[in-house]
Chains A and B, each alone.
Chain A
Amino acid sequence: MVFGWADLNGYAFLVPLLYVLSFVIVGLFGHRLPRAEHGGWVAVVLAGLAMVVGVLIAVGEMVNPNTWTDTQYVWLHTVGNGTGTFPHGLELIMGTLVDPISALMLIVVTVVGFLVLLYSIGYMHQDRGLARYYAELSLFLTAMTGLVLADNLLQFFLFWELVGVCSYFLIGFYYERPSAASAAKEAFIVTRVGDIMFLLGVFIYFYVFALVGPNGGWAANGFAFALGGHPFLNAPGGYGVSLLFLNAHSTILTVAGIMILGGAAGKSAQFPLHVWLPDAMEGPTTVSALIHAATMVAAGVYLLAVTSIFIGFTPTDSLAIVAIGGFTTFFAATMAVVQPDIKRVIAYSTISQLGYMVLAVGAGFAMVGLYHLFTHAFFKALLFLAAGAVIHAVGSQDLFKMGGLGKSMRFTSIAFLIGALSLSGIPPFAGFWSKDDVLSQVYGTLGTHPAYWPFFLLALAAVFLTAYYIFRAWFLAFSGDHPRDPNLPHAHDPPWTMRVPLLVLSGFAIVAGVLPYLPAFGKLFDLGADVPPPPFGFSDALVSVVSFGLALAGFLTAYVLWSNGRVYALPERSPAQPVRQLLLHRYYFKAGFDALGLRGIYLLSRIADWVDQYVIDGTIRGLERAFGGLSGRARRMQSGMVLDYATFVVGGLLALLLFVLIVGPYVLHLWGG
């Protein structure tokens, strides 16, 4: 190319840097600006610049797909002295890596990030603490782009934790609300359980690869994802670990894979670490759209995809990933079916959709998983932002209070409808293409992996539920003549700062599915000669027809039960009531976590506290008293009676003799040995 597009990779560090700049400016000076939203405009402008850089880098990757790494700085290094595990020392670096998939993620993060910030100007204008809000969002985007551009597992983990803490602060943005403070804590602790597994996985990979690295031990950057840099990566049979290597270390690599899965499950809210995501809806809707739908929760999938591409999973791991993903698609969708809260419906749907991505990665189709991640980011952000426009207009999240909003909020209702069509997988909307690809690729593996069958069927059944719950939400909110709650304020469509993001995201929700079919864009899904590009869509007509049929059936069920302002109430004595209660209580998962995890551990700590005070410290205080008593006795020994002294002298002599004759030789014997 004339302009040398690939050269732009060297500027990749600018993306997180622009967000840092925004964080510092808004965080330090945001509250001194004349009006609160000025800080927001600073963030929007800088995020816009970051988006331009990010998209240009992605275009560069489309023109000239390559893997490019650079060391930004040495984070920590030790000196090797020729012995031990690190004979040449250990070097941990912070670097940037630009390759097709990080470019793909860069598009998602910078574009959705910019749109959400722009939307926030209108959405958040009545809130206090705006400087804090924009600073925290900027910090989040820093960490998220840092994660996407990470060139080694350590750096990945570092930014992974940082996005987690930003999520913590933003969930707890309305910190005066006890429920928000509690949800933030819950999110942090549950994901930390996953993070710890992730860290152990990092250690294991590090250890295993240190054994095979150059020089018999890794001299440099031990955690690098350098594609092609290690012998096991250039194995025949596509990406992943070579069979030889796999067999030699299969047990420990299986453990590592499970640990990575644990980390991904925590971040991407997969069963059984899914509990935090619905509660995370305590944060502002914009935060839910950016962090808890499009980017951070997808980081778990990205981690699995990166691990799958650069390292590979063992068959046991693959089955575990498929099982978790497949089960979660269905499990989360069932809970969405009964939710009265518009945001929580979408939250459960996010968990369910992330399950599809995990399923695809587990079945060996990392790029298909990322394909669904790509489309999902846009239509899910759209759904959240449209829901945000509704919440903004009517001041409530309760679907049963809404109704008839389609008349007063035509623009929003259409945006939500596009998102819903895309989510349920109705062609030609984006979600159809990627979901169909996931299902047909997994279907293709069933011949060789019959154990995947139940999880494939669960994922297929979830297609029906998805269409049902999202159209139930749409009908409840927008169809009918007037709101069911007459106290709801008169609703109107949002201002332009909120409409523009909705419009752009609607566009993506329509076309994102076919973008990979464009030759240039498709290069982002192509990882080079040794990794075959995945086929997209319609690879199995049967699966496509069945899933489309299921989606249609879900839509029709929702239409029959909920359209035109109808509310379908389950009869009191219906045998389905217990099921409904079970779903409303989220299978009692949260209650169980609270009882076991929180109360149980707290009880243990109370017991420990008692032991500390009365047993450990008590022993010491007892000793103190004993010494006091002893010294009293000793004082009484000075009795002045000759006979007493004589007894002491004889007794002392005997003791000395005993010591010299018995203890002494024993000690000397030890000494000699």
Chain B
Amino acid sequence: MGFLARLAFKNLFRHKLRTFVSIIAIAFSVMVVVFARGYVVGLIDNLTLEHIQYDSGHIKLITHEYRDEQRLLPLNYPVDGLGGGGLDEMITALENVEGVAMVVPRLKFGAMVSTEDELVTMGGWGVDPELETAFTGIEDYLVEGRMPQPGRLEVLMGTALLEKINRRVGEKVTIVFNTAFNSLRGVTFNIVGRTKSGIKLLDEVVFYLPLDQAQRLLEMDGQVTELLLVTPDKKLVLQVLPRVQALLAEYGEDGRYLALSYKETSDLIFFMDIAKLIYNQIYIFLVLLACIVVVNTMLMIVKERTREIGMMSALGLESKDIMRLFLTEGAIMGVTGSLIGAVCGSLINGYFAKNGIDFSAATSGFSSEVIFNSIVYPLSSPGNTIFAFFLGVVIVTIACVIPARRAARLEPTEAMRV
């Protein structure tokens, strides 16, 4: 009945302050849900993306032995081809697997630089600059200079690492490392670029050099330590992984090589997925907290309007109509509060999604092994805003069933006696 809906709307103006407080309580909780969900989803998405880009790809192909010792960056368990074929043929075979969009080779090794005071340990990543740029967008973090070029003794370093070794872009640096044959070697490189990413690993530990130079200097021609397989979407990994494993089995290399999805190479992502589910329950709890205010207000309203409910019942209004009247009042507060909260939360998220939230100070103690960008960019998406809006409306309306039922169950004679 439209008339009851209009009455419900007008009723909200009886005690404007009380209605306002209820709406603000809902708005605040929905705003917090929008922001918290945007923050958590943004954090998990960033974390997953960075893990994929700087550690695992969507599928990581390594040897079994390398997996056990990868923290030590060993060079004696390389990826070097399938069934006696070379690395290039292996990459071509992998690129031909349905769902594989790109194969990114990396040759990782331990290295060090001597400064006047100390020996600085580092990790060298021999990469194909073109593929690396296409896959990770490392150029976005480039604050000075350029990527190293194949065929040249050039390196790209993080800002913090450059500070540690007291060098600048344009200067030279002599890097000492062990070759695959375990002989110590020192090579002087030109520093051609500087990055600043917020990711501790990239900023403080890693330096990039061209893959061909890394292979030559480490005496690992046609070899890399890992191949990262990239799919058009991370959701496709579960479909593509069995095809890659089938390819390895086809060449009889499944005993040597290991193909791992990005989730298998990070415990953190597994826990984050669980956290996502837990947070979804926390959001419901947050809105329920606001519902306490609304339900309390509605119960007060029912008490105040007991005689009026009796009168409406006497006029012939059925219990279900009275219930509908109070539910409509609650729903209007729910919709208004949720709308305000969703819009405010969305604006806040939009601002932080653009500018990020800097946790550098808090994450300074993190190990560089944790690939975590200290600047968190919350997710600002219509889906998140709509989710919070509907969560607010639905929970508030359901919560209003309690006072509405109380109103509907009042016997007219009892109600009129008040």
Bound together? no
Name A residues whose Cβ lies closer than 8 Å to a Cβ of B. none
Name B residues whose Cβ lies closer than 8 Å to a Cβ of A. none
